[in-house]
Amino acid sequence: MLPSRAFGRFIGRRLIALVILAVGIVFVTFVLTHMVPANPALANLGQNPTPAEIKNFDRVNGLDKPLPVQLGLYFVHLVQGNLGTSEVTSDPIIHDLGQTIPATAELAILSILIALVFGVGFGLLAALRRNSFTDFVLRILSLVGVSVPTFWLALIALYLLFFKLGIFPGGSRLSPSDVAPPRVTGMYTVDALLAGQLSTFWDALQHLVLPSIILAAANMGLLTRYTRSAVLEVMEQDYVRAARAKGLSRRSIVFGHVLRAALPSIVTVIGLAFANVLTGAVLVENIFSWPGIGQYGYQASVALDLPAIAGVSLFIAVVYIVINFIVDVLYGVLDPRVRVQ
């Protein structure tokens, strides 16, 4: 089925909103970071900076210019694809993001996959076995997943599964004895496979699993709860009763009618799940020494590395907007009523 003209307009409107939102977020981030009553030079030059050193730091980082000029220049550079240079690493922000995003992406993708498979599966199971012991256990587990703080869960998991039982390796992306595979995507598992380094792939995967599970815990809980209630709601619908009455198989009813109708609600939660992954990444990456964008953003905030803070904010904002955009489009695909509206 070709998308209707109305659906095309719907996508066009969302794309325009995407650009306006991104510009607004950059503006707000820039203003907020510059409102902090602190001097980046003093945060980066140690205890005894001389006036000449402070002046040089401000000059090199463009902090000697009036704020509106800095903002204007930032936008000009942004259009040119230049996010500035980090005051801490002295590397272009684009370079730093290029180094850190693949690490977070690898973590986020596996985490979302785990959350999706187990969250939707558990939710469906709980709904189909409503008020049974299985339902009770899964509801408790989902409650735990949603309510337990990520950092606590990460520490306990490290203690039990790495230190006590030795099932998983500790923090970091690879064992110290291993060497990172030749960089193609920046995702070690993918790059190791591309290079045919199976032992490195296995090592990278082992390091990836535990932080991904921790990061997935909250989303798993969230998805279980939403899927359960969405499926229960659909199962009460007349057409499901009709399908049962017609003698359709249970499998056909669940996957062909119930789950499909429940999908729009689940897709909404998947959008939220991406938000949870990005916020949770800050804590998980710190505890697991995972050199991703969460760790980079946190360190930039502490050091008042303004270009890096703005760069990370922009990236996260774009991810949010794109995910919401995809969710909106998926609504349209999954629910014809949205396209018509």
Q: Which of 251, 253, 230, 229 is nearest to 241 (CA)?
A: 253
Contact between 151 and another protein by CB under 8 A: the answer reads: yes
Per CB under 8 A, does 36 bind another protein? yes
Q: Which CB atom, from 14 or from 55, has the smaller least distance to another protein?
A: 55
| # binding residues, another protein (CB under 8 A) | 56
Q: x/- contact string, 106-135, with another protein (CB under 8 A)?
A: ------------------------------
Stretch that binds another protein, among 66-74, 83-91, 108-116, 207-215 (CB under 8 A): 83-91
Tokens of 90: 């002295």
Cβ atoms of 202 and 194 within 8 Å: the answer is no
Cβ atoms of 87 and 303 within 8 Å: the answer is yes
Q: Is the backbone of residue 305 left (phi > 0), alpha (psi -120 to 50) or beta?
A: beta
**Considering Cα of 105, then 106, then 107, then 111, what sign does the dihedral take?**
positive
Q: Maximum distance among all alpha carbons in the chain? A: 84
CB of 94 to another protein, least distance (A): 14
Q: Single out the residue of 5, 68, 131, 164 in contact with another protein (rule: CB under 8 A).
A: 164
- Residue 111's H or E segment, with its range, is helix 93-128
Residue 305 binds to another protein (criterion: CB under 8 A): yes
Q: Which of 100, 111, 150, 324 binds another protein (CB under 8 A)?
A: 100
Complex with another protein: residue 55 or 77, whichever CB lies closer: 55
| DSSP code at position 88 | T
| The one segment of 135-143, 173-181, 192-200, 330-338 that binds another protein by CB under 8 A | 173-181
Q: How far is 296 from 282, CA to CA, in rounded Å?
A: 9
42/140 with CB nearer another protein: 42
Indicate whether 180 belongs to the interface with another protein (CB under 8 A).
yes
Annotate each residue in 37-66 with x if it binds another protein (CB under 8 A) or - if it does not, as one string: xxxx-xxxxxxxxx-xx--x---x------
Q: Are 101 and 267 in contact (CB under 8 A)?
A: no
User: Tokens at residue 274, please?
Assistant: 């991406």
d(CA 96, CA 58): 21
Binding site for another protein (CB under 8 A): 36-40, 42-50, 52-53, 56, 60, 88-91, 99-100, 151-152, 155-156, 158-159, 162-164, 166, 169-173, 175-177, 180, 286-289, 291, 295-296, 298-299, 302-305
